[in-house]
Amino acid sequence: MDFLNPQSDVTLARSANTELLGLGDQIYSRLLRERIIFLAGEVRDEMANSICAQLLLLSAEDSEKDIFLYINSPGGSVTAGMAIYDTMHYIKNDVATVAMGMAASMGQFLLTAGAPGKRYATPHARILMHQPLGGIGGTATDIRIQAEQMAITKRTMSELNAKHTGQTLEKIIADSDRDNWFNAEDALKYGFIDHVATKDGQVTGGKK
């Protein structure tokens, strides 16, 4: 690894990876060169690791230019999603988020966590907010510990949703008690997003 020239490391890594990719992956690789990352499907550890790596790679290449995270996801693992969330806020870059199709559960959370002024949804995107879900089992002690951890997770996510939307914590907790669906315009009014993007070229601008 050339520590004196990180730019060359980025170029070499991309070149080596592209040789191993199929056509579909080559498309995503080409988008990555345009600083576009896709979060598509369930949020799981493998996906989160890949997205975190892409965020870190793009930040290493240029710590000033925006990164664009497109989201079409039904949600998934809280811990995997939190890894993406923390990386988004760890790097210096603004991460613009765009909901396409569906941004549900953890997808909604990551959409709303985008840089202020740079959170978008396409006109027919659907956004779902609800409380974290999880199964509980085991001994009585295990059940108590799991219930406590779920309560902590719910509180943490509610506090962060309140922070990013401008809603009160009490309203977030009440509104997420059951499945709560929003269309793009409703999501804009609620504070999940800042813009409804109808044309190419509108996903830009805003201030951190």
Q: Which two structure tokens, joined as six digits, stand for 169?
A: 């914590």
pLDDT in tens, 126-185: 999 998 765 566 677 777 777 787 888 899 999 999 999 999 999 999 999 999 999 999
Residue 167 vs residues 68, 89, 120: alpha-carbon distances, Å: 25, 20, 18
| Domain assignment of residue 206, yes or no | no
pLDDT in tens, 20-41: 446 667 888 899 999 999 999 9
- Identity at 127, one-letter amino acid code: I
| Domain assignment of residue 165, yes or no | no
Q: Which residue among 59, 73, 105, 158 is the active-site one?
A: 105
pLDDT in tens, 65-101: 999 999 999 999 999 999 999 999 999 999 999 999 9
Q: Which residue among 15, 73, 77, 130 is the active-site one?
A: 130
Residue 52: CATH number of its domain: 3.90.226.10
| Domain assignment of residue 7, yes or no | no
| Domain assignment of residue 149, yes or no | no
Any catalytic annotation for residue 130?
yes
Over its C-alpha atoms, the chain yields an Rg (Å, rounded) of: 18
| Domain assignment of residue 68, yes or no | yes
- Identity at 137, one-letter amino acid code: G
Closest CA to 154 of 128, 129, 190, 186: 129
| Domain assignment of residue 208, yes or no | no
pTM metric for this prediction:
0.83
| Domain assignment of residue 63, yes or no | yes
* Cβ–Cβ under 8 Å, residues 133 and 156: no
Q: What residue numbers bound the domain in which 127 lies? A: 35-132+179-196
- Buried residues in 145-178 as b, exposed as e (16+ CB within 10 A): eeeeebeebbeebbebbbebbebeeeebbebbee
Give the count of domains, the chain: 1
Any catalytic annotation for residue 164?
no
| Domain assignment of residue 78, yes or no | yes
